[in-house]
Amino acid sequence: MYVRGVGPRVAEMLAAKGIQTAEDLLYHLPFRYEDRQNPRSLDELKPGEMASVIAEVRGAALLRTRRMPIFELTVGQGRLALKCIWFNASYLSGKFNAGQTVALFGKVEPSRSTSNLKMIQPQWELLPDANEDAETRLLEVGRITPVYESLGGSRLASRWQRKVIFNLLEGMRSAMPECLPQTMLARLGMPNRELALREVHYPPEGTPMTQLQAWATPAHRRLIFEELFFLELGLELKRRRMRERVGISFATTDTVRTALREVLPFHPTAAQKRTLGEIVADMRQPSPMRRLLQGDVGSGKTIVALQAMLVAIENGYQAALMAPTEILATQHFLAARKLLERSSRRYRIVLLTGSLDEDRKRLNRSMIHRGEAHLVIGTHALIEEKVEFDRLGLVVVDEQHRFGVLQRFRLMKKPNQAEPDVLVMTATPIPRTLALSLYGDLDVSVLDELPPGRTPIVTRRVPDERAEDVWDFVRKQVAQGRQAYIVYPVIEGTRDDQPELDFCHDEPSPDASTLKSAAAPVRKTVRKGKSGNLFPNSTVGANPAARSGLKSAVEMHEKLRTGPLAGLRVGLLHGRLDADDKEVIMRRFQRGEIDVLVATTVIEVGVDVPNATVMVVEHAERFGLAQMHQLRGRVGRGAAKSYCILVTGGRVSEQAEERLNAMVRTQDGFELAELDLAMRGPGEFFGTRQAGLPDFRVANLVRDRQLLELAKQEAARFANAPASAAEGTEAERARVWSRLKEAWQRRYGLVEAG
């Protein structure tokens, strides 16, 4: 379609931003609005508030200070004046002329002279003067004006988008197809699509600014709902299609029940009984199971999964468990073997990981292929090594973020066999509403109860300066026969080549820090080398990690072993060791032959050593909440009292502060997950791509959770209504379906859950 203002060159720039159609452009909503209906007078401004101001340019100057060029702009209204400052902004010189009108948006700062307020680095836009064309004036002055994120440099910034979008809207007047049934819109009290699009770009006079900025106007809500509705409708359909596929109906006879009971080393919790019940009920169904088992660290997922696998095995099928790392696969293997030894039956269990030698692999593969292996535990190697099962009945995938592998399990069964059931386990507590809505094509079981007899873990925050106390404490615990973990954010060297890093990205942007250092009175801040506190006499020389101010596992292993923890058996574990070494070390730690394990986050998931009672996390300010919570979950697994010590050694940002406080305050994984989600947003929370979460155009899963619930309900209602009670006319329904197809193909490309 031809759009005024979009030639081939611009089209290319837009495509780079994922904007390919006129519709994409229309759904690129303003990220904020400026009230230019009744501009604020300068004397109404209060220090500390975010304000938008329209004033006349009085003067501008580029000041060359020793540190950097500073651009100063003075604007005024009558006798009142406001000063604006930009750092490192030579590029601004020559941009302003006295007499021009400028719109500014930024935080109002107090200024030394009471009469003069100040804005630092405000956003700005020169307003069109009387010579400018009428259209520009119409769109930018005397109204609530949309402000857009640029789609390509200054050329495709707000002004350009305003015009193009305005023209698009004009061109489509009364011709924009609706994609939701009228009856639905009427019931929900939502405007039609055309009106909604018009009003999010050009809000009618008098629309409350707070509602606009929060994306909470009826127009916004309608567009957000629309996006979420098509997501949920797609999920609903997938789920229905899954119910039509041919799976295996497992039987739960008395023999099966006995087999399950035999392996139980303890009384299951009520939550374990309930979730196993849910899983087994699915397994009895003739359609394939697709279920997510969620449970906080230590909630006891392993035994539940194992029992589910026994159901398959007792029915004459094979079961496979796939873990994200070799260590975990091995641990699952050992744990499963131990549990199965309790049974009066002889199960054959096989480990398949990449690091096995070729002969072993070949042997194991053939055992799997011939059906001699009942239970197969492995890593990605299960897929990569082209393992073919004789009769695969159930696949358990540990850790949902390796989600993408799911559909590939289809390759592992023989062509005309029924589809295996799939159970996904995750220790990431996903806020319930989110899990239910997002994994619409998975059923969800939640283990929301910890096994009895756990004493709460004592969590403390300690500054780097008190490291000596921490090491003393570790020594005391070891003297009592306990073990400890000490975790570092990096293996060694710079962070770029560290495979298991998952930092929180809330470091100050270079801009913000420049701003601060420039704005603050000149004071010399001397940053002490981080290792200096612990080891005043040692030099950390040319180690790149030292340069970045981060302590690393390799470096600290050496120092602790020969320094504060001398005499203890100190081991080292990180992702760059080869798999055999990792395993050896992990086993030695498990057997109590290592007292203190210095490690990276490689130990994060699943590792189980009940005798370990201390978890020290260094540079805790660097870790995300979910990660810290996972790490803490490594202790407190036995009867003895356990401790988590969060050592901060570096600048602690406001966000980090909040994370650390939350860790000290609560041990509830779901509460922490809620907070994490609110702080980081869903993209970071899940690692968007990995989790198969779509990129939304307008929706935001944190902000729009209620609309997500509503969309889910409406989608189920729409999809499941009998023809007689169907929503909307036939033509409307046809449009919904075709739009659904388009949306899923183009935008979501969601993971197929099997």
- Under rule CB under 5 A, residue 300 binds Mg ion: no
Return the half-sphere exposure (C-beta side, CA atoms, 13 A cut-off) of residue 111: 17
Which of these, 231, 190, 210, lies nearest to 709 by C-alpha position?
231
- Under rule CB under 6 A, residue 203 binds ligand ADP: no
- Under rule CB under 6 A, residue 295 binds ligand ADP: yes
Q: Among residues 146, 203, 300, 420, which is the contact residue for ligand ADP, using CB under 6 A?
A: 300
Q: What are residue 129's phi and psi, to 5 degrees? A: -95, -175
Shortest Å distance, C-beta 211 to Mg ion:
45
User: Alpha helix (H) ranges present in 264-355?
Assistant: 270-284, 301-314, 326-341
DSSP 8-state code for residue 526: P
- Residue where the block lists tokens 């009066």: 344
Q: Among residues 30, 146, 234, 298, which is the contact residue for ligand ADP, using CB under 6 A?
A: 298
Q: Among residues 83, 193, 301, 632, which is the contact residue for ligand ADP, using CB under 6 A?
A: 301
Q: Which is nearer to ligand ADP, 14 or 427 (CB)?
A: 427
Site size with Mg ion, rule: CB under 5 A: 2
Site size with ligand ADP, rule: CB under 6 A: 19
Structure-block tokens of residue 748: 């979501």
How far is the C-alpha of 470 from the C-alpha of 486, rounded, in Å? 10
- Under rule CB under 6 A, residue 275 binds ligand ADP: no
Q: Among residues 106, 152, 268, 544, which is the contact residue for ligand ADP, using CB under 6 A?
A: 268
Shortest Å distance, C-beta 278 to ligand ADP:
16
Q: DSSP states of 206-229 as a string?
A: T--HHHHHTT-SHHHHHHHHHHHH
How far is the C-alpha of 32 from the C-alpha of 125, rounded, in Å? 14
Strands 69-77 and 50-64: antiparallel
How far is the C-alpha of 725 from the C-alpha of 323, rounded, in Å? 46
Shortest Å distance, C-beta 269 to ligand ADP:
5
How far is the C-alpha of 352 from the C-alpha of 454, rounded, in Å? 33
272 makes contact, choosing from Mg ion, ligand ADP, none, with CB < 5 to 8 Å by partner type, with: ligand ADP
Residues 624-663 that bind ligand ADP (CB under 6 A): 637
- Under rule CB under 6 A, residue 595 binds ligand ADP: no
Q: Which is nearer to ligand ADP, 221 or 637 (CB)?
A: 637
x-marked contacts with Mg ion along 183-212 as a string, rule CB under 5 A? ------------------------------
Q: Which is nearer to ligand ADP, 50 or 270 (CB)?
A: 270
- Under rule CB under 6 A, residue 190 binds ligand ADP: no
Q: Which is nearer to ligand ADP, 354 or 610 (CB)?
A: 610
Q: Kindly indicate which of the ranges 36-44, 519-527, 606-614, 732-740 contains the residues binding ligand ADP, using the contact rule CB under 6 A.
A: 606-614
Return the half-sphere exposure (C-beta side, CA atoms, 13 A cut-off) of residue 736: 24
Rg over CA atoms, the chain: 30
- Under rule CB under 6 A, residue 611 binds ligand ADP: no
CA atoms 33, 36, 37, 41: torsion sign: positive
x-marked contacts with Mg ion along 62-81 as a string, rule CB under 5 A? --------------------
- Under rule CB under 5 A, residue 493 binds Mg ion: no
Q: Among residues 158, 207, 217, 269, which is the contact residue for ligand ADP, using CB under 6 A?
A: 269
Burial grade of 76 (CB within 10 A; 0-12, 13-18, 19 or more) = middle
Instruction: Answer yes or no: are the C-beta atoms of 557 and 618 closer than 8 Å.
Output: no
Q: Which is nearer to Mg ion, 228 or 306 (CB)?
A: 306
Shortest Å distance, C-beta 301 to Mg ion:
5
User: Alpha helix (H) ranges present in 375-529?
Assistant: 381-384, 432-438, 467-479, 510-519
Shortest Å distance, C-beta 402 to ligand ADP:
16
How far is the C-alpha of 17 from the C-alpha of 297, rounded, in Å? 39
* CA dist 15 → 6, 152, 228, 741 (Å): 11, 10, 24, 21
Instruction: Answer yes or no: are the C-beta atoms of 50 and 107 closer than 8 Å.
Output: yes
Instruction: Answer yes or no: are the C-beta atoms of 275 and 445 closer than 8 Å.
Output: yes
- Under rule CB under 6 A, residue 297 binds ligand ADP: yes
- Residue where the block lists tokens 């101010």: 549
How far is the C-alpha of 620 from the C-alpha of 625, rounded, in Å? 10
30 makes contact, choosing from Mg ion, ligand ADP, none, with CB < 5 to 8 Å by partner type, with: none
- Residue where the block lists tokens 């973020």: 401
357 forms beta bridges with: none
Give residue number: closest CB to ligand ADP.
300
692 makes contact, choosing from ligand ADP, Mg ion, none, with CB < 5 to 8 Å by partner type, with: none
Q: Kindly indicate which of the ranges 139-147, 210-218, 600-608, 614-622 contains the residues binding Mg ion, using the contact rule CB under 5 A.
A: 600-608
Q: Among residues 128, 606, 636, 692, which is the contact residue for Mg ion, using CB under 5 A?
A: 606
How far is the C-alpha of 687 from the C-alpha of 161, rounded, in Å? 30
Shortest Å distance, C-beta 84 to ligand ADP:
54
Q: Among residues 207, 217, 287, 299, which is the contact residue for ligand ADP, using CB under 6 A?
A: 299
Q: Kindly indicate which of the ranges 177-185, 211-219, 604-612, 660-668 contains the residues binding Mg ion, using the contact rule CB under 5 A.
A: 604-612
- Under rule CB under 6 A, residue 446 binds ligand ADP: no
Which residues are at the interface with ligand ADP (CB under 6 A)? 266-269, 272, 295, 297-303, 427, 451, 606, 608, 610, 637
Which residues are at the interface with Mg ion (CB under 5 A)? 302, 606
